[in-house]
């Protein structure tokens, strides 16, 4: 049996923000691509990150106050879908950003916000009384 390691290897903090890009928008769902800005060939997380926390804001200009951003979830893959509720008007301008998250739950710097507009039209899937035409 090997003796237990007595000194732990320190984990360096995340110092680089992810790069983000809006991949597509379909109705009220926006797909955000999250990737390492230092890799020109691979769309992946940085080595220290296990996920990326994704945030959104609805409005004409994004706020500088972090408390005004809404947490959307943790992305473990390079593409994350954000679905906005019926309270957000079709055609509304939305902002998305992300921050890497380490195994310990520490986050790094936040990416530059990217913007898009939700599409017009469409009906949400939970709409009552909708019939399919024959």
3-state SS string over 71-122? EEEEECCCEEEEECCCCCCCCCEEEEEEEEEECCCCEEEECCCEEEECCCCC
pLDDT at 11: 72
pLDDT at 21: 96
**118 and 25 Cβ atoms separated by less than 8 Å:** yes
Domains and CATH numbers, the chain: 19-117 (2.60.40.10)
Per-residue pLDDT of the chain (134 residues; tens, 9 = 90+): 777 777 777 778 899 999 999 999 999 999 999 999 988 777 788 989 999 999 999 999 999 999 999 999 999 999 999 999 999 999 999 999 999 999 999 999 999 999 999 997 555 555 555 555 55
Record the tokens describing residue 72, joined without a space.
């959307």
Q: What is the pTM of this model?
A: 0.82
């Amino acid at each position: 049996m090997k003796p237990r390691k007595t000194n732990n290897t320190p984990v360096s903090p995340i110092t680089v923000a992810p790069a983000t890009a809006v991949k597509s928008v379909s109705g009220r769902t926006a797909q955000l691509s999250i990737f390492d800005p230092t890799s020109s060939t691979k769309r992946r997380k940085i080595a220290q990150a296990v996920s990326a926390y994704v945030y959104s804001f609805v409005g004409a200009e994004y706020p500088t106050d972090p408390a005004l951003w809404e947490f959307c979830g943790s992305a473990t893959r390079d593409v994350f879908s954000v679905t906005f509720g019926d309270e957000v008007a079709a055609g509304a301008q939305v902002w998305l950003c992300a921050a890497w998250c380490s195994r310990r739950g520490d986050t790094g710097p936040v990416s530059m916000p990217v913007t898009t507009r939700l599409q017009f039209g469409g009906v949400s899937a939970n709409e009552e009384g909708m019939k399919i035409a024959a």
